[in-house]
Structure 1
């Protein structure tokens, strides 16, 4: 099995991509690159079993409805609790599930800078669909939405602070911690890049998260949640430890 992890930024710069091959008892990082274009992501997706995309795959349903209503001058605040109404505008169903499961609050695709990456992500999804991929925003097809911070939390690793300025030492320590927790993961010549670039590191985590989704070791939407998740997207939160990835399914 091959998985592709993409840490998607709004532009090519700061976008990273990792390809991981899953073999009996071990996983090998076969490629790791930064400053990646959409065309290169699409080309790489042709050769893998699952793509883990670190980017919201949609917007909150209520937010989309608000924009449409506002365009026609017909906005109505249905909830007397303004704070609760704004929260429902800002966060998707899957964001709330991640919050409940981990205590981590994902960035709001409707009200934070992550929206710029999501604009690009929408175009990338269209390109992947045009290339013949099954783009199911619930994660049942070729592409699955991942969230490295939540995956790191699930796996008992540091999940915040390593992207801040001046945190290079802590970031390098996180790579060491990953290698200790997953001795079966072979970074090889890409170890240095992982330590220098948190974008590269996140793309590796995205590829590991894609593996969790591919072998049924990630949270899936219930039948009731699926209708909304098909539109808003669904974060494939890992359900167990890192060891699940290497022992969770036959090769």
Structure 2
């Protein structure tokens, strides 16, 4: 038996989603799924990450674009395009592969999540490329890899916020159908429909399982160096959803 931890990290605890999935030879069940509360604070999350899970996936950037880091360290103005300062190699790879462009960690408010993530992982064997305990996750892009192309990539409203509840219900039902009868979500289906933070936390825990089983796309030789410095978003292999359960 093993467990994976998924964290939909926000800059504040009340918007942070947490999910633990227990995996065994007979199937899998969602053991914990919640949004906010005391368990979503920094110290409880640090303890949870260190509590023996086989893999952890966090929806937050693990690093910054190398040209951006060089620019703020240097004494001269950088002669590079703005996109090189705004986006990492992994962001461009995900956009090409899944059709979804991540938020820019150097220009957007998601940098606050990256600051918090760095503190949570401090002192752990957690290389930024995901080769250790923790991997960087992007739930929306993962859905596009796991779900049928005709469903995941068709024009559709966002599943975020209160207006996205109907879309979340649709996504959760398709996701559970792909996982099969041996995946027990318990009361988590309603939680995911009510909160996109819960849905993203569930997806992160599934991405952690995919990474544990070698069912995510690692950085190739051409991206290895940048992944170690900037981080690497672990996209699941297409069609691998049902393979997450033994």
Same fold, TM-score > 0.5, yes or no = yes
1:183-237 Cα deviation digits (max 9, x unpaired): 2321113222122111011001000001111111111112342221111000111
How far apart, in 1, do the equivalents of 2:24 and 2:133 lie?
A: 20
> Residue in 2 aligned with 1:146?
137
Partner of 2:95: 99
Deviations 1:30-71 (A, max 9, x none): 1112111121122222131100011000000001111122xx
| Residues 98-247 of structure 1 aligned to structure 2 (within 5 Å) | 98-126=94-122, 129=123, 133-156=124-147, 158=152, 161-183=158-180, 184-241=182-239, 242-247=241-246
Aligned-residue Cα RMSD (Å) equals 1.6
Query: Gaps spanning 5+ residues in structure 2: where?
Result: none
TM-score (norm 1): 0.87
Distance in 2 between residues matched to 1:55 and 1:76, nearest whole Å = 26
Q: State the secondary structure of the residue aligned to 2:174.
A: helix
Structure 1: distance between partners of 2:152 and 2:135: 23
C-alpha distance in 2 between matches for 1:90 and 1:67 = 13
2:22 matched to which residue of 1?
21
Q: CA deviation at 1:165?
A: 4.1
Consecutive unaligned residues in structure 1, runs of 5 or more = 80-84
SS at match of 1:13: helix
Kept in 1, the 8 Å contact 2:46–2:121? The answer is no
Identify which range, 8-17 or 221-230, moves more after superposition: 221-230
Tell me by how many angstroms 1:97 deviates.
Answer: 0.9
TM-score by length of 2: 0.89
Distance 1:217 1:91 in 2: 25
User: What is the DSSP-based 3-state SS (H/G/I as helix, E as strand, rest coil) of the residue aligned with 2:33?
Assistant: strand
Give the length in aligned residue pairs.
233
